[in-house]
Amino acid sequence: MTLSILIWLPLAIGLLAGLLPRGLIGRGAAVGSLITLGVAVSFVARFELGHAGLQFVTDKVWISALGIHYKLGLDGLNIALILLTAVLFSASLIWASFREWDRPRIFYFQLGLAQSAVLGAFCAQDLALFVAFFDLMLIPFYFLIGIWGSGERVRATTKLVVYTLVGSFFMLAAAIATGVLASNEHGTPITFVISALQHLPLSHTSQDWIFLCFAVAFLVKMPLVPFHGWLADGYKSMPIPAVAVFSGVLSKVAAYGFLRIVLPMFPYASVHYQTLMLLIALASILWGTAVAFTTSDARLVVAYSSVAQLGFITLGIFSLSSQGGQGALLQMVNHGLVTAPTFFIVAALAARVDGSEDLREMGGIAVRAPVLASLFLIVALATLAMPGSSNFAGEFLILLGVFKAKLVISVIGFVGVVGASFYALRLFIRSMHNRTGEKVASRDLGIAEAAAIAPLVLVILVLAFYPQFVLRRTEPTLTRTVAPALLASRHWFSCPPGCPPGSTAYAPLTASAP
Amino acid sequence: MSIVPLAAYHGAAHIAGPYIDWRGLSPMVALTAGGLIVLLVGLLRSEVVRNQVVPALTLATFGATIGLAIWRFNDPASIVSGALRIDDLALELDMLFAAAGIATVLLSWRARAPRESGHGEYHALLIFSVLGMAALVSAQNLITLFIGLELLSIPLYILCASETRREGSLESGLKYLVIGSVGSATLVYGLALVYGSTGSTEFTGIGAAVSQGKLAGGVLGNPMLLTGLGLVIVGFAFKASVAPFHQWTPDVYEGAPTPITAFMATATKAAALGVFLRFFDVAAISAQNQWAPLIAAIAAITIVVGNVGALGQSSMKRMLGYSGVAQAGYMLVGVVVGSQLGIQATVLYLLIYLAMNMAAFAVVIAAERESEVGDDISSLAGLGARQPWLAWPMTVAMLGLAGIPGTVGFIGKFQLIHALVAGSYTWLAIVLVIGSMLSLGYYLRVVAAMWMRGAAAVPAGAPAAAAPFAPIAGGSPEADDRAADPHFGSPLEQAPAQQPEPPEPARPRPELAGVALLFGAAIVFFGVFPSPLFSLAAHAGQAISGLF
């Protein structure tokens, strides 16, 4: 069984479900997503531990004239993320299948296309293929918000698409430049295969501007602080199944892009801009925490907490250390697992407050909803990284990594850990306890809500007991991923920017080239 | 029969005319014969003949042209004393013109323009225009080049005015005639100066003269040659609607009958860019250092002007006109870099551009015939719910023009940027990328109108959709008919009364939906499997390198 099956299965299911009678399309798509989940689990089960290299490689020439390959593969960086993708899309589709949607055929087709594109972006081992999937995964969300969204949906979706595609176009230019310049500087035929490009490092000046183009694309997608203009409108307008996967998975593709592409391919630029990236991450943590604590909109609390969490993940990545990277990867999984059920819970809360997502109108919902309250509490405690949760392990590893690299930033970063407990508990208390709101009609979870929330909470609990499940699979690859950057940072002190490129700077890296 | 070029030279020495390789010339012969037959058959009075047989014969002519072009593929030849070169580049573009012609015939099957101007004349002019394009992109000397250009232009002047009872169409034809003539005159001056400074009308002769520095003071020091090249650029720029010589484009596109607009937007643009490639990458390639910065600047200006201009348009035809200006800028970059890769990128993009624009125009025509707001963007409102088989092709066409992956547009942009970076024009690649970002503003508006707004909600929601009629009086024949009908109130009074009524059931327009779906499917298919397009483009690229 090849990875192509995993990638294209959701799209095929999205198309085939459209052939079913109108009432059964949602059920069909949900069952199909469970099949996809089964396929993803089978890949994880067959994944061999202790290997740093790619497994299950598919490598075919896609466009020979450009040296672009249809190359897919799994390693420690993406194995956990494809499982996360399958889990969250299943939960979203189950949630969606219990509800009525206008024009259901197109709705489930868009969700299937989105899942295929996200899985493709995670599995792609060719730079051009990655860029194609990265841009493609945005298009279904353009329609999901624009057709099924709420409020100012057209404005919100246009804003989202323009923001992210502007970043993507920079990335497109940068990706092509990477391929062309690498072949020019080393006199080799043009290629976009990532593993080949890693052995063809670019000159420092090229790395610098190409790094910035990639960084803009990824930072917009996450989003981190100066690039988060689309966030509030976008998250507010998205239908719940879309926002759960968008926040849970799509933002991770961007963070994953730093690990897969930027760190190994542009190690010198990564070191050069390390402080800048750490400061952006720190600003996101503080800003996201502050807004999440002050906004009265339940959905925006979750949205801005995502900004803070992605700030943590970026902090881990740009600590340029193995622990930081491990923590970042673990935290990507953790955050995906907590943010998606939180959005479902917010929707469940809104359903009990006459559709309002305003925290001021909530309160006292726990009275007749013990199951909802307990599930919510587990998710909230995981969000604030309670010791014993997997999120605690993730944040600990991240801060450990940063501690070794930049002490001051690590210390300020701790504020974010404290802040998380403020906004997570505030969200819980304001909605579940306090005085009962006027419009509140408390009732416990229905099957339509529990079907999506309960399994995710179960996964959170399992991972809390056994975070090594992720860590053991990611470790060997991560050590290799950060190695060039570590090397570059060591070299940085002996050869600051401006010293002649080539010569000694490349020697240790190119030594391993075939 | 390998004696072709030799025989041509021998023929020139005697009084007898040049030897003609009829096999090489066969696509053009088919076009000429087809055009004459269509013109004559069109004189018959029978309704059936005029409405059905004439378009069918036109389709057969274009089909035969494509068939003959495929037959001559991979067999380059210089024919008619070296006046024409039938190589893979020329044949590919011939096929492209004929395909555009087929689509145009289908789009105008039940249109108003052929009824008013005569079916025979309308279709014969279309064929002769394609013949002119074929001559233009095969031209190997200045005389053939100019004849081809005029043969392509003059039928188009008439076709633009072929809705003879609509003021807008006549205005469009007149405007195109005046501006087109200015362009042609500029080009003739340029060609004359190039001839005067190099002493040859043959492209190869000009190329040799330029590269060997035979001219007094060398290439650099000869103002006559440089002025000539500058004027030639201006002349071509008029035809390709490249800024700052694009001002006629939106007006003429808007006024012309929509099928003709589609034809001009695709085929004429391809012909103009084809001759750009031929002239500058063959005849003037040695002077590249002189003209490349100029064309690069023009391309950059064009990209910016086209994209900014399109942002504010509410008429679909005007919007596509400006978008075509921007896309011409993208395609010019292949000429600028003057490399194999550049030629391939431009040819690839021309093929892609045909599919994307034809799909879009087919939907615009279908929507325009049913709506009373003409080609305004609001005519597309709610199309996704009403007629998904039209909305999907339009969606992929818009996403393709914007360069989204999964469509050929992405592949085309990828190859253009690749050619630019490899040719050390990274700054132009950045301009192209910024242009693409601007273009999202108007392409996504169309998609949003189709899928995200109900038909009734649009007039309030769409900011630019102010007037129910296109700015030129009579933007839509149906609207005019209704406005002239005393039983109908003014359109403004009608608007509120219309809303409670259920949407009009879609009348079947198989030829329009067919064109849209076919090109829409091609956009997605070649976006996923682009290799055939790349090998076609590689053929075209080799055709030019074979000359030096």
Beta-bridge partner residues of A63: A68
Angstrom distance (rounded) from CA A365 to CA A326: 38
Give the one of B404, B429, B453 whose C-beta lies nearest to A173's C-beta: B429
pLDDT in tens, A98-122: 988 888 999 999 999 999 999 999 9
Contact indicator for B494, B482 with CB cutoff of 8 Å? no
Q: Do B440 and A103 touch (CB under 8 A)?
A: no
Helix (H) or strand (E) holding B331: helix B316-337
Contact indicator for A137, A118 with CB cutoff of 8 Å? yes
pLDDT in tens, B487-506: 443 444 334 434 444 444 45
Q: Containing domain of residue A284, as a range?
A: 273-490
Average pLDDT over residues A409-424: 88
Contact indicator for A153, B391 with CB cutoff of 8 Å? no
Has residue B99 got a pLDDT over 80? yes
Q: Which residue has the tokens 């605690």?
A: A392
User: CB distance from A165 to chain B under 8 Å?
Assistant: yes
CA distance to partner chain A, nearest, from residue B421 (Å) = 6
The band of A497, judged by pLDDT with boundaries at 50, 70 and 90, is: low
Angstrom distance (rounded) from CA A41 to CA A38: 5
CA distance to partner chain A, nearest, from residue B445 (Å) = 8
Angstrom distance (rounded) from CA A339 to CA A342: 5
Chain B residue closest in CA terms to A164: B437
User: CB distance from B421 to chain A under 8 Å?
Assistant: yes
Residue A219 located in a structural domain:
no
Count up the domains in chain A and report the number.
1
User: CB distance from A139 to chain B under 8 Å?
Assistant: yes
Other beta carbons within 10 angstroms of residue A51's beta carbon come to 13
User: CB distance from A65 to chain B under 8 Å?
Assistant: yes
Q: Do A143 and B451 touch (CB under 8 A)?
A: yes
Give the gyration radius of chain A's Cα atoms.
Answer: 22
pLDDT in tens, B194-226: 998 888 888 888 888 887 765 555 555 678 888
pLDDT in tens, B138-148: 998 899 999 99
Q: Do B404 and A136 touch (CB under 8 A)?
A: yes
Average pLDDT over residues B436-453: 89
Other beta carbons within 10 angstroms of residue B430's beta carbon come to 17
Give the one of B445, B451, B534 whose C-beta lies nearest to A147's C-beta: B451
Chain A residue closest in CA terms to B444: A158
Residue A352 located in a structural domain:
yes
Whole-Å CA distances, B532 to B7, B520, B539: 36, 17, 11
Of the candidates B89, B398, B125, which has an alpha carbon nearest to the alpha carbon of residue B271?
B89
Angstrom distance (rounded) from CA B87 to CA B76: 4
Coil, helix or strand at residue B141: strand
Q: Do B444 and A66 touch (CB under 8 A)?
A: no
Q: Please count the CA atoms within 13 angstroms of the CA of A32 that sit on its side-chain side.
A: 28
Q: Which residue has the tokens 């899942």?
A: A115
Mean pLDDT estimate for chain A: 88
User: CB distance from B415 to chain A under 8 Å?
Assistant: yes
Residue B473 confidence (pLDDT): 39
User: CB distance from A176 to chain B under 8 Å?
Assistant: yes
Query: Which residues touch B485 (CB under 8 Å, ≥6 apart)?
Result: none
Helix (H) or strand (E) holding A113: helix A104-123
Contact indicator for A220, A156 with CB cutoff of 8 Å? no
Residue B32 confidence (pLDDT): 94
Beta-bridge partner residues of A68: A63
DSSP state of B502: P
Q: Which residue type occupies B531?
A: S
Residue A490 confidence (pLDDT): 78
Residue A371 located in a structural domain:
yes
Chain B residue closest in CA terms to A137: B405
Give the one of A136, A153, A173 whose C-beta lies nearest to B433's C-beta: A173
Contact indicator for B79, B4 with CB cutoff of 8 Å? yes
Average pLDDT over residues B465-472: 39
Angstrom distance (rounded) from CA A511 to CA A25: 55
Coil, helix or strand at residue A59: strand
pLDDT in tens, B52-94: 899 999 999 999 999 999 998 888 888 877 888 888 889 999 9
The band of A494, judged by pLDDT with boundaries at 50, 70 and 90, is: low
pLDDT in tens, B391-434: 999 999 999 999 998 899 999 999 999 999 888 888 999 999 99
Distance of CA B229 to the CA centre of its chain: 23
Query: Which residues touch B502 (CB under 8 Å, ≥6 apart)?
Result: none
The band of A344, judged by pLDDT with boundaries at 50, 70 and 90, is: very high
Phi and psi for A280 in degrees, rounded to 5?
-60, -45
Has residue A512 got a pLDDT over 80? no
Give the one of A147, A157, A173 whose C-beta lies nearest to B417's C-beta: A173
DSSP H helical segments within A433-495, as ranges? 447-465, 468-494
Render the burial of A267-290: b for 16+ CB within 10 Å, e for the rest: bbbbbbbbeebbebbbebbbbbbe
Average pLDDT over residues B467-479: 40
Mutate to test the interface with B, among A8, A147, A169 (most CBs of B within 10 A): A169
Angle (nearest 5°) at CA A213 between B312 and B404:
50
Coil, helix or strand at residue B289: helix
Whole-Å CA distances, B472 to A29, A104, B254, B256, B480: 49, 41, 8, 11, 12
Residue B501 confidence (pLDDT): 43
Chain B residue closest in CA terms to A138: B404
Average pLDDT over residues A59-69: 88
User: CB distance from A188 to chain B under 8 Å?
Assistant: no
Q: Is B491 exposed, middle or buried (0-12, 13-18, 19+ CB in 10 A)?
A: middle
Coil, helix or strand at residue B315: strand
Angstrom distance (rounded) from CA B211 to CA B285: 8
Q: Which of residues 335-354 of B touch A (CB under 8 A)?
A: 344
Angstrom distance (rounded) from CA A234 to CA A359: 19
Beta-bridge partner residues of A70: A60
Residue A389 confidence (pLDDT): 87
User: CB distance from B386 to chain A under 8 Å?
Assistant: no
CA distance to partner chain A, nearest, from residue B327 (Å) = 16
Phi and psi for A389 in degrees, rounded to 5?
-85, 160
Has residue B443 got a pLDDT over 80? yes
Chain B residue closest in CA terms to A156: B448
User: CB distance from A169 to chain B under 8 Å?
Assistant: yes
Dihedral of the alpha carbons of A74, A75, A76, A79, in degrees to the nearest 10: 10
Contact indicator for B85, B145 with CB cutoff of 8 Å? no
Has residue A240 got a pLDDT over 90? yes
With beta carbons under 8 A apart, name residues in chain A contacting B433.
169-170, 172-173
CA distance to partner chain A, nearest, from residue B535 (Å) = 8
pLDDT in tens, B160-186: 999 888 888 999 999 999 999 999 999
Higher pLDDT, B481 or B403: B403
Residue A87 located in a structural domain:
no
Q: In the structure encoding, which two tokens stand for residue B288, read together?
A: 């590249």
Contact indicator for A453, A348 with CB cutoff of 8 Å? yes
Residue A329 located in a structural domain:
yes
User: CB distance from A136 to chain B under 8 Å?
Assistant: yes
Angstrom distance (rounded) from CA B24 to CA B71: 10
Beta-bridge partner residues of B139: B84
Residue A450 located in a structural domain:
yes
CA distance to partner chain A, nearest, from residue B338 (Å) = 17
Phi and psi for A387 in degrees, rounded to 5?
-55, 135
With beta carbons under 8 A apart, name residues in chain B contacting A65.
344, 531, 534-535, 537-538
Chain B residue closest in CA terms to A104: B385
Q: Which residue has the tokens 């389709």?
A: B59
Angstrom distance (rounded) from CA A95 to CA A241: 7
Whole-Å CA distances, B100 to A116, A206, B158, B284, B306: 35, 43, 18, 29, 23
Mean pLDDT estimate for chain B: 83
| DSSP calls for B365-433 | HHHHHH-SSTTBGGGGTTHHHH-HHHHHHHHHHHHHHHT-TTSHHHHHHHHHHHHHHHTT-HHHHHHHH
Residue A327 located in a structural domain:
yes
pLDDT in tens, B339-375: 888 889 999 999 999 999 999 999 999 888 887 777 8
pLDDT in tens, A253-286: 999 999 999 999 999 999 999 999 999 999 999 9
Average pLDDT over residues B428-446: 91
Q: In the structure encoding, which two tokens stand for residue A46, read together?
A: 């067959």
Mutate to test the interface with A, among B418, B439, B443 (most CBs of A within 10 A): B418
Has residue A188 got a pLDDT over 90? no
Average pLDDT over residues A370-374: 91
User: CB distance from A182 to chain B under 8 Å?
Assistant: no
Chain B residue closest in CA terms to A132: B405
**How many inter-chain contacts (A to B, CB under 8 Å) are there?**
93
Residue A47 located in a structural domain:
no
Mutate to test the interface with B, among A62, A70, A180, A238 (most CBs of B within 10 A): A180
Coil, helix or strand at residue A124: strand
User: CB distance from A151 to chain B under 8 Å?
Assistant: no
Q: Which residue has the tokens 């760190």?
A: A263
Of the candidates A382, A405, A347, which has an alpha carbon nearest to the alpha carbon of residue A459?
A382
Angstrom distance (rounded) from CA B533 to CA B537: 6
Q: Do B440 and A165 touch (CB under 8 A)?
A: yes
Residue B545 confidence (pLDDT): 64
Give the one of A132, A153, A172 whose C-beta lies nearest to B417's C-beta: A172
With beta carbons under 8 A apart, name residues in chain B contacting A110.
none
Q: Which of B19-28, B94-103, B291-300 has the highest mean pLDDT?
A: B94-103
Higher pLDDT, A342 or B291: A342
Q: Do B405 and A132 touch (CB under 8 A)?
A: yes
Has residue A495 got a pLDDT over 70? no
Angstrom distance (rounded) from CA B111 to CA B260: 11
Contact indicator for A486, A320 with CB cutoff of 8 Å? yes
With beta carbons under 8 A apart, name residues in chain A contacting B410.
132, 135
User: CB distance from B531 to chain A under 8 Å?
Assistant: yes
Angstrom distance (rounded) from CA A394 to CA A397: 5
Query: A284-293, A330-339, B287-296, B401-410 — which is least confidently predicted?
Result: B287-296
Distance of CA A280 to the CA centre of its chain: 17
Helix (H) or strand (E) holding A63: strand A55-63
